[in-house]
Chain A
């Protein structure tokens, strides 16, 4: 059984002029525990919407999302929130650290929504996680005093502190320079592998995407499996090729 499975998922919104805009169309995706998957695509192609649906922040308009054998549609709002906290860790492009709080408080923040030992030992767990991402000496530092790379490390520590089953990374290197971005992805891959969490990274950077085991391209709301070689070039389409794809796939992603 897959960890999560999307079957023919569609997400559409009604525009103010009453037209219906389809953001995602017929998305089918299956991710196993510990797997690293990347989704590439231009801005505005629905990457974040896909990630939000996967992370239970948004719901599909049609189609089915099954999380560990449970149809997400059957979960109450409260149960969805609980599973979101228990099973998913988010890494955002803009880090989204809580302002005014120290690195330690930021990493401990998700544990405020945990129960039992995780809740009561939150400060210690947060300190251990910051130690793991190499920020053991910056525990009391506020985000404003940290560099972009360090802020993203704090965000990674925060995403992983509850030991989630899935890490959802939305353009994790988008706000970083190439070298720092590479280091961050290396860290993310490493920690995700250590904890056995699946990693789904959304990016427009082919080099970042190429680090994953499986790669997808999202264009006009349609998800297509692709193969990327190491330097980050699309080498071949896998499966059905969308009818509106340009002849040169690399041009789309450039």
Chain B
């Protein structure tokens, strides 16, 4: 026990006394660990950002797009669609599902009435499509019960109302046979610079207040169903068969989104590992170099320690431990620096998009970085430790 503690104390003393040397030797290792941990974290964030961007288009992984488009002139009623979709959701235990339909409805802006392209959805649509308004909020289940409708609009819509934010609780008249005043509860950014006014309306409000537009063809809502990724493929044919049987005369389609993330993930991970490995290799080489020079300067000291009764094993282990203790400290510094960088990273500016569900700090990458640093420390310590043991005590004392 005292032998091991003594070796660690000795190693720590050595590092304490030769701070500058240690600092120089360890910068490389610390940078390597920062690189491994930091790059892994950034890659994970980039991945997450990419996934989230994709999920805003196709829904969360995996969102099935279920549609039943009428083949002939007679289409099932909205109530029929709703009933069948509700049945599917219940039968297959789907936790998040939303009806969705594109349509066009007239709104009365201060400059006059004009049709607006709408998406008619359920509150779950926001969760499935990762919709987080820039101002205000998305629909909640409580909104379905409100009598007057509410809309979530894009910036262009808000601009058309002559408002810049929601502080004045802007409202707009939804035209049609029975015009109704609609409250704007949320605003999301325009998809592109010159985007026209667009809005989301709850399905229940649509059914209550809107006159279906014939310009968009028969009213045939689709269903977005967020299902567990490992069950998606299995569910696809089952849902298709089920819906085909219950809605005859329609073209039932259950679509799986295209998945291509695996390859991107793998490539990014390999890139991160490659960068980390090169940084670690360079750091390790620097460490070996400085450690070797140092051992040559410490030959006399090693001789003196031998005269104190230090065995060759103890000298070997001591020099090795110096390297290991030093790299562990460097590794910790590297991780702290990586954490500091990650926490203060202007993610939107770096990645070009925000990250809604920030991935947790990659503890595994930090541990891998630490383990690699310690391994490099041990390897880098082997050469000087061997040199130290080969020193002839008598020559060393006189050195």
Task: Decide yes or no: A52 and B394 within 8 Å by CB, A57-B307, A78-B311, A100-B17 being known contacts.
Answer: yes
Task: Decide yes or no: A109 and B305 within 8 Å by CB, A78-B311, A100-B18 being known contacts.
Answer: yes
Q: A-side binding surface: helix, strand, loop or mixed?
A: helix
Task: Decide yes or no: A57 and B393 within 8 Å by CB, A114-B2, A116-B2 being known contacts.
Answer: yes
CA distance A84 to B6 in the complex (A): 17
Inter-chain contact B307/A84, CB cutoff 8 Å = yes
Tell me how far the C-beta of A110 lies from the nearest C-beta in chain B, rounded to whole angstroms.
Answer: 4
Q: Which residues of B contact A84 (CB under 8 A)?
A: 306-309
Interface residues of B in 341-382 (CB under 8 A from A): none
Q: Which residues of A contact B244 (CB under 8 A)?
A: none
CA distance A185 to B301 in the complex (A): 25
> What 1/0 flags go to A96-108 for Cβ under 8 Å of B?
1011110001000
Inter-chain contact A113/B313, CB cutoff 8 Å = no
Out of B6, B13, B18, name the residue touching A113 (CB < 8 Å): B6
B300 an interface residue at 8 Å Cβ cutoff? yes
Out of B5, B10, B307, name the residue touching A90 (CB < 8 Å): B307
Q: Which residues of A contact B307 (CB under 8 A)?
A: 55, 57, 84, 88, 90
Interface residues of B in 5-44 (CB under 8 A from A): 5-6, 9-10, 13, 17-18
CA distance A120 to B18 in the complex (A): 24
B310 an interface residue at 8 Å Cβ cutoff? yes
CA distance A101 to B5 in the complex (A): 19
B205 an interface residue at 8 Å Cβ cutoff? no
Tell me how far the C-beta of A203 lies from the nearest C-beta in chain B, rounded to whole angstroms.
Answer: 17
B314 an interface residue at 8 Å Cβ cutoff? yes
CA distance A113 to B314 in the complex (A): 9
Inter-chain contact A81/B2, CB cutoff 8 Å = no
Q: B-side binding surface: helix, strand, loop or mixed?
A: helix
B397 an interface residue at 8 Å Cβ cutoff? yes
Interface residues of A in 40-70 (CB under 8 A from B): 48-49, 52, 55, 57-58
- The interface size of chain A toward B, counting residues with CB under 8 Å, comes to 32
Out of A82, A96, A99, name the residue touching B309 (CB < 8 Å): A82
Inter-chain contact B393/A113, CB cutoff 8 Å = no
Task: Decide yes or no: A77 and B312 within 8 Å by CB, A96-B304, A101-B17, A112-B10 being known contacts.
Answer: yes
Inter-chain contact B6/A119, CB cutoff 8 Å = yes
Inter-chain contact B18/A81, CB cutoff 8 Å = no
Q: Which residues of B contact A141 (CB under 8 A)?
A: none
Q: Which residues of B contact A115 (CB under 8 A)?
A: 2-3
CA distance A152 to B305 in the complex (A): 17
Out of A85, A92, A105, A119, name the residue touching B308 (CB < 8 Å): A85
Q: Which residues of B contact A128 (CB under 8 A)?
A: none
Contact residue range for chain B?
Answer: 20 to 34
A86 an interface residue at 8 Å Cβ cutoff? yes
Task: Decide yes or no: A113 and B308 within 8 Å by CB, A78-B313, A119-B6 being known contacts.
Answer: yes
> What 1/0 flags go to B287-315 for Cβ under 8 Å of A?
00000000000001100111111111110
Q: Which residue of B lies closest to A100 (CB)?
A: B17
Q: Which residue of A lies closest to B307 (CB)?
A: A90
Q: Which residues of A contact B314 (CB under 8 A)?
A: 81, 113
Tell me how far the C-beta of B296 lies from the nearest C-beta in chain A, rounded to whole angstroms.
Answer: 15
CA distance A116 to B2 in the complex (A): 7
Task: Decide yes or no: A101 and B6 within 8 Å by CB, A78-B313, A92-B397 being known contacts.
Answer: no
Tell me how far the C-beta of B228 lies from the nearest C-beta in chain A, rounded to whole angstroms.
Answer: 59
CA distance A100 to B3 in the complex (A): 23
Q: Which residues of B contact A110 (CB under 8 A)?
A: 308-309
Q: Which residue of A lies closest to B6 (CB)?
A: A112
> What 1/0 flags go to A111-129 for Cβ under 8 Å of B?
0111110011000000000
Inter-chain contact B306/A57, CB cutoff 8 Å = yes
Inter-chain contact A81/B306, CB cutoff 8 Å = yes
Q: Which residues of B contact A96 (CB under 8 A)?
A: 300, 304, 397
Tell me how far the C-beta of B325 lies from the nearest C-beta in chain A, rounded to whole angstroms.
Answer: 15
CA distance A99 to B302 in the complex (A): 12
Question: 7 shortest A-B CB distances, which residue pairs?
Answer: A85-B309, A110-B308, A119-B2, A100-B17, A81-B311, A112-B6, A113-B309
Chain A residues engaging chain B, CB cutoff 8 angstroms? 48-49, 52, 55, 57-58, 77-78, 81-86, 88, 90, 92, 96, 98-101, 105, 109-110, 112-116, 119-120
Given contacts A113-B309, A113-B310, A115-B3, could you give 18 more A-B pairs where the C-beta distance is less than 8 Å? A55-B307, A57-B394, A57-B397, A58-B393, A77-B312, A78-B311, A81-B306, A81-B311, A81-B314, A85-B308, A85-B310, A88-B307, A100-B17, A109-B308, A110-B309, A112-B9, A113-B6, A113-B308
Sample of 10 A–B contacts (CB below 8 Å): A58-B393, A77-B312, A81-B310, A82-B311, A86-B309, A92-B397, A105-B13, A109-B305, A113-B309, A119-B6
